[in-house]
Structure formats: C-alpha cells, structure tokens
A = this chain, B = another copy of it.
Amino acid sequence: MIQISFEISNEIHHLLLFCAHKLFNKKLAISITNTGKNFLNHISLDCVIFGFHEGELKVLSLFYESLKLHSLPGGFIGVNESLEEAAQVVLKERTGLDAIFLKQFQVFSDFERSKQNPLVEKITKSNTTINSDFFDQRFITVGFYALVEYTKVNPTPDFISDSCKWVSLNEKIDFILDHSKIINKALQSLREQLNSQPIGYNLLPDKFTMSELRVLYETILGKELDRRNFQRKIMSYNILNKLNERRKGGAHKSPFLFEFNLENYEKALNDGLQGGW
C-alpha cells in the first residue's frame, strides 16, 4: 500500500474516486484527509458595495498597484455555504460590518467573461497552497449589491490587493474583466428597486436631514427633484419621524433631523411605495 498526502478539494476527491473506479476497477482504495476550505468550482460572487458620502454614491473597490486596475470585492462559495452566506463573509472581511443589506441582482455567465483574468498569476504566486487549476476555470459570477453606512465601514484589502477604498461612480475607473458592467447593472437595479427595497434606510445614518435623503434619491435616480415636492411626497408615506432636533454647525438655517419609522417603512415597502395600478 502506498500513502500519499496533499491538499485537495471535495470536488477533486469525488472525481478521484470516480477516476479510480473507471481506471482501476475499484481495486484502488483512496483515502484522503480533507484540509482547508473547499469551494464550488465555476462559481464566484462579486459585491457592489454602495456607500453614500458628501452627496455622492460610492463603491468599495480593491486596487492592484502592479496592474493599475481595480476590482470588485468577490469570493467563492464554500461547499457548505449558500451564496448569501458567502457574500456576507466577503462583506464582513472588506468592511468589518455584519448583517449588511445584501441583494443578488444578476448572474453574469458569458462564456468569454473570465478569459484572461489578470489576477490569476498574482493569486497563485502569492499563496502556494492555492492551485491555479481552480482559478483557470471558467467562472460564472453572481452579482450582489450591498448597502452600507459609509462612515461605519473600515475598508480592508484582501491578501492580493494593495488597497481597498471608496471610488465615486463619477470617476473613470478601470476595472478588471466585466466589473464595470456589473457595477452599471447594480446601479440600474438600485434605481428600479428604490420603491421596494429599504434603500434609504441602509445608506443613511440613523438620523439625517431631508436634504440628505433627497440628494440620495437624486443621485440614485440621476436627476434633480424639487425640494418642496419631494418633502411633501415622502412625508405623505408616513415612513419618517421628524425629530425635535436640528443639525447644528453648518452655515445657514439649521435643518431638522429625521429618522425612519421602521414599522411603517417596512409595511409601505411591502406594497411598494406608491403608485401603479
């Protein structure tokens, strides 16, 4: 009997058994100790993490100095995880936050999409326990968008990226692969779901001014809204509590602060805010 030891994923284990069966007619016994984390082949996920700061929508991005390229934070699916669990892990690692608002919005599966991933070489060089076979595969990626409170985030790079930082959607940024396309689709989904997902609640701090909420809406929708009509409409939903408190310190008249009335907000989102049929 020969004994050989090396790290191997569940999939390879499974297939080894299969191959052994086919090749050697079951006469080979293979015993493998499984160490390390195993991921499903072919499947990845990418997160478009939105934050709102100084009147701009921003996205958390990893940067690779040597490549001069950005990428979205992403990850793989553990063999015992759901996509959502795997995405929460990514978010926790990049932002330090738990229980982030997360929503999958599209799968990107073009055959061409993961050809020539410039990161593969970096990954395999930086960590010898990872075999390049995993990364050389074709990947189908599930796009998630996440909404976080900008100031609570502690941007943290992963082991192959040089930095992790917020980038504005107005900047021209070079992303790897189809990540620019993924961001555009995420923004489009955000827009479409503005009336059915708790978007305001998750992007703003607990207390905020009416102007801050309005600018958020303007940014997501990409158009200006009349200050007075906006306030009238949003107040008519009964989803905000007006506080007896003002934002001090800024120039000019100090505005009142508001908070979401969570109970009413969730009720309203279930029906969809306003309109249509």
Taking the complex as formed, is A236 at the interface, i.e. its CB lies under 8 A from any CB of chain B? no
Which residues of the partner chain B approach A276 to less than 8 Å between Cβ atoms?
194-195, 273-276
Taking the complex as formed, is A133 at the interface, i.e. its CB lies under 8 A from any CB of chain B? yes
Taking the complex as formed, is A238 at the interface, i.e. its CB lies under 8 A from any CB of chain B? no
B15 touches A277 (CB 8 A): no
Taking the complex as formed, is A101 at the interface, i.e. its CB lies under 8 A from any CB of chain B? no
> Copy number of this protein in the oligomer?
2
User: How many A residues are at the interface, by size bracket?
Assistant: 35 or more
Taking the complex as formed, is A262 at the interface, i.e. its CB lies under 8 A from any CB of chain B? no
A 41-71 to B, binary, CB cutoff 8 A, 1 in contact else 0: 1110000000000000000000000000000
Q: How far is the CA of A274 from the CA of B77 in the complex (A)?
A: 40
A 5-33 to B, binary, CB cutoff 8 A, 1 in contact else 0: 01000011011101100110000000000
B277 touches A217 (CB 8 A): yes
Interface CB pairs A-B, < 8 A, 6: A6-B22, A14-B137, A18-B131, A104-B106, A194-B276, A217-B277
Taking the complex as formed, is A147 at the interface, i.e. its CB lies under 8 A from any CB of chain B? no
List A residues at the B interface (Cβ < 8 Å): 4, 6, 11-12, 14-16, 18-19, 22-23, 40-43, 77, 79-84, 104, 106-107, 109-111, 131, 133, 137-138, 140, 142, 192, 194-196, 217, 221, 225, 272-277
A138 touches B79 (CB 8 A): yes
Which residues of the partner chain B approach A192 to less than 8 Å between Cβ atoms?
196, 272
Q: How far is the CA of A190 from the CA of B130 in the complex (A)?
A: 42
* Nearest CB in chain B: distance from A275 CB, A: 4
Which residues of the partner chain B approach A77 to less than 8 Å between Cβ atoms?
109, 140
Q: How far is the CA of A16 from the CA of B110 in the complex (A)?
A: 26
Q: How far is the CA of A131 from the CA of B195 in the complex (A)?
A: 47
B107 touches A138 (CB 8 A): no
Which residues of the partner chain B approach A221 to less than 8 Å between Cβ atoms?
277
Q: How far is the CA of A276 from the CA of B111 in the complex (A)?
A: 37
Nearest residue in B to A8 (C-beta to C-beta)?
B22
Q: How far is the CA of A277 from the CA of B6 in the complex (A)?
A: 59
Q: Which of B15, B43, B272, B273 contacts A15 (CB 8 A)?
A: B15
Q: How far is the CA of A195 from the CA of B272 in the complex (A)?
A: 13
Q: How far is the CA of A52 from the CA of B84 in the complex (A)?
A: 34
